[in-house]
Every structure is written in C-alpha cells, then in structure tokens.
Amino acid sequence: MSLSKSPSTLITAGNTNNILGSFTLTSNKITGASLAADNSTITLPAGTYIIRYSVDASNSNTNNGTANTQYAGQNLTCTRSYLINAATSATITEVNRMCEMSNSFTFYQGSFYLTLPATTTIRQKFEFDTGNGFTFSNLNVRASLSLVITRMAQ
C-alpha cells in the first residue's frame, strides 16, 4: 500500500500533537486495507507489516525564541513520528526522532515494524519534538511525503 501527501503544511508552528492527513492512495495491493474518507485513517487487517515514511521538508528559519536549539548559529528542527491506534489513541510503535539544521535541505525518514493481532485502524503522528529545536514556524512538505506499507508473508 502506498500513500502520498502533496506540498502543504506538514506541522503547524509549535504543534506537538499532530496527526498526518490529506493522504492520497497511490497503490493498494493489501487485501482488506483501506484509506478512510478522512484521508488520515488507515485500516490494516491482522498481520505483520513494515511501514516506511519519507518526506523532504522546509521551513523559513526566520524565527527564533527560547524553544529553539541552535548549533553553529543555525536552528535545529527536531521531529518525532509514531503510529497510534485510531480508536484508542494508544501509541503502537516506537517513536522515531530526527533533528536537522533548519537552514538546509531537511529530509525526514523512518520505519516501523508492526504486528497486528486483529484488523486495526491506525494514524501516523508527525510532530515537533517537545523542547528540542525549531518550533516557531510551520514545517512544510517541499515536494512530497510518501508512506509505504508492506505486509510480510504469513
């Protein structure tokens, strides 16, 4: 299953509770998997999955403040991403964390290994890492975000 997100706001300024939305389904070869009408909720049947995401992002690097962490005179943009059960809001994967210099090309990527005992509806959270880095400006999708879900053989 492949999903993408076109250029748009990825994380609004200061957001530490952000669910990704506005996905477009580009391919689905997983029987029983679907993207809901809200374009943020993904239903997966029981099974084992590897889920990969990647996004090239940009921000203006023009804001500063006490929440900014700096290195070599540049702000760091620190993010975290994880999957939640859409019905319970419980975190169901590890948390991937990354920091990038906010004045450079920022590319965030990660993967999750997930075993679901029953059909489960999930959402991806992608947000600023609390207390770390640049949070005073939107983080935007520059070209695209991709989310690829691979179901492993049973």
Q: Is it the case that residue 122 has pLDDT exceeding 80?
A: yes
Give the pLDDT of residue 55: 92
Length of the chain: 154
pLDDT in tens, 42-54: 999 999 999 999 9
Predicted confidence at residue 143, as pLDDT, reads 87
pLDDT beyond 70 at 65: no
Q: pTM of the predicted model, to two decimals? A: 0.87
Tokens of 22: 């506005």
| Beta-ladder partners of 141 | 57
What one-character DSSP code corresponds to residue 16? S
Mean pLDDT of the chain: 87
Q: Is 37 exposed, middle or buried (0-12, 13-18, 19+ CB in 10 A)?
A: exposed
Delineate the domains of the chain, giving CATH numbers in brackets.
22-153 (2.60.120)
- What are 80's two structure tokens? 């975290």
Partners of 97 in the β-ladder: 80
Angle at 93 between CA 8 and CA 95, to 5 degrees: 65
Question: How many C-alpha atoms does 43 have within 13 Å on its Cβ side?
Answer: 10
Q: Do 72 and 90 touch, CB atoms closer than 8 A?
A: no
Residue 119, classed as helix, strand or coil, is coil
Instruction: Quick: pLDDT tens for 67-118.
Output: 566 777 777 778 899 999 999 999 999 999 988 876 666 788 999 999 999 9
DSSP code at position 19: B
